[in-house]
Amino acid sequence: MQIENGAQTTMHGGGMRSRIVSISLLAAFAAIATKGAVIALGGSAAGTGASTVFEAPIRRADIVDRNGDLLATSVTAYSLFADPRAMMDSDLVVRELTRVLPDLDIELISKRLANKDRAFAWIERGLTPRQRQAVFELGLEGLDFRAEMRRAYPRGTLAGHIMGYAGDDGQGLGGIEYARDDRLAAGGEPLALTIDANVQFSLEAELAAAVGTYGAESGAGIVMAVRSGDVLGMASWPPIDPNRAIDLDREDPARLDRASGAVYELGSVFKPLTIAGAIDAGAVRPSDVFDVREPLLIRGRTISDTHPIGARATPAQIIAESSNIGTVKVAWQMGARRQQELYAALGLFARAPIELAGSAAPILPQEFDDLASATVSYGHGIAVSPIAFVGAYSALGNGGERVEPTLILTGDRRRAPKRVMSAPTAALITGMLRQAVVSGTGRQADVAGYRVAGKTGTAEKPIPGGYSETENICSFAAIFPADGPEYVVLIVLDNPKAGDGRGRTAAWNAAPTAGRVIERIAPILGVEPKFDVPAQSNPQIRSVSQRRNAL
């Protein structure tokens, strides 16, 4: 009996020990699970090394041009972070890190790592593979890396203002990156733009050359298809490199997109639109003549011509010789109300509906009185963005229908063209613009074989209190080919200098720049040259560069 009781006692004692061991194991597992949860949610415990769980980043969609050429992509980069609680000596960590990352802000990083209540602190974002390896080889406690997707722009400054840029966390901060942030952040198929990388390169190269040659402060250029509204090239100078844009000073002039985000009084490029409106309204006939010999005086403001014609002029001659007096008299015939209706229909009284958040609003006359009506008719007293003007000008090359400029190749926002004048009127004005290039102020824009039609614009630059007597905005608006319009080209130069002594007018800077652009892009766009009618002054001339050298 005693033996049985002893055995019974032994059995009870073994069961108790088993229960104790089981409870202990459960407690240990619970502690491990709790610690794992702490690490996953808030970082590692002090002294155990940093380990943070991040969601795998979604690869931001690429951006390509109309031909599929890559303009923006996402690449894997590594960012360095720390768990200050896991560091025995944060000052030592900072000293060691600055040996391999000399650009670190020592004061800021020291402050972050000294806070032992923090489980997470960024050290440096976007390390190169070499920098990452150098940090890894230090063997420092409390440091770890996070794989991130960083934006890269393999073409550098090409279409930089159109691209915009993305921040450290992949969010779009400018240009198309910002305007289409949701679409790009969702990943998927590349976003295709309307621009042609080869056209864009040619436009940027000629714009930069013009700024250098003529000593301009800045400039803008646009190439657009007149029927679709596709922007094939849009450039602003100074250029911007999206790879480095985030580091630029807020006041850096390269930040401003002068093609869509700035407004200018463009001057006489408005004259063809004014005359088109008057003819289309039946207020003026192409055969009418206007006395342009004497300046006009309107409420104390004298309106004269830069180079007086000294005779009576038809609408075609007013455009070819760029007569302010003649244009004002045409506008008088049309009337202020119809003039305003025309400009509104052309989209000049609103922001251009381009897919960029920075599209600038126009600056309009406070009151559209008789003086404003007169000056606006030849492009003074109204300031518009270059992209808005290109949209208006497209109507002349598109049979009288205005198209809205677009940068998205397969966008769902495309709207049907809006008729703003009759097709015969548009064709008539385009013919007048061709004569302005053949025998008028636009002669320097002519490119043998490509039938350029266009108009110069030279406007005094607005300054506080009035207008400058020494600084101009020079522009040239072209349509080509004149006998079958396909493209609009606009060049704008801010305050070009005389350079060759021939003057600061658009005829000698913006016009030849537009000609050089057309000479380069026409073959790219597949425009066939025609040499049926050789240049009268020199039948051997076949290009703008040859014409310039022959003068």
Is residue 363 within 8 Å of 188, Cβ to Cβ?
Answer: no
Handedness of CA 380, 382, 386, 389 (dihedral sign): negative
Handedness of CA 153, 154, 160, 163 (dihedral sign): negative
- What burial letters (b/e) apply to 512-547, b meaning 16+ CB within 10 Å? bbbbbbbbbbbeebebeeeeeeebeeeeebbbbeeb
Using alpha carbons, select from 168, 170, 171, 109 the residue that is nearest to residue 135. Answer: 109
Radius of gyration of the chain (CA): 34
Rounded CA-CA distance 446/236 in Å is: 23
**First-last CA distance in the chain:** 133
Q: Which of 74, 268, 322, 475 is catalytic?
A: 268
400 Cβ contact list (under 8 Å, min separation 6) = 280, 419, 420, 421, 422, 423, 425, 426
List, in sequence order, the alpha helices (H) in 50-196: 90-100, 106-114, 129-138, 160-163, 175-179, 181-185
Catalytic residue list contains 268: yes
Is residue 109 within 8 Å of 123, Cβ to Cβ?
Answer: yes
Q: Tokens representing 363?
A: 């600056």
Rounded CA-CA distance 242/158 in Å is: 9
Is residue 54 within 8 Å of 146, Cβ to Cβ?
Answer: yes
Rounded CA-CA distance 430/233 in Å is: 22
Using alpha carbons, select from 513, 480, 544 the residue that is nearest to residue 202. Answer: 513
268 Cβ contact list (under 8 Å, min separation 6) = 322, 324, 327, 378, 379, 455, 456, 457, 458, 459, 506
Rounded CA-CA distance 366/204 in Å is: 36
Q: Work out whether strand 466-480 and strand 301-303 pair parallel, antiparallel, or are unpaired.
A: unpaired
Is residue 497 within 8 Å of 461, Cβ to Cβ?
Answer: no
- What burial letters (b/e) apply to 189-198, b meaning 16+ CB within 10 Å? ebbbbbbbbb
Residues forming the active site = 268
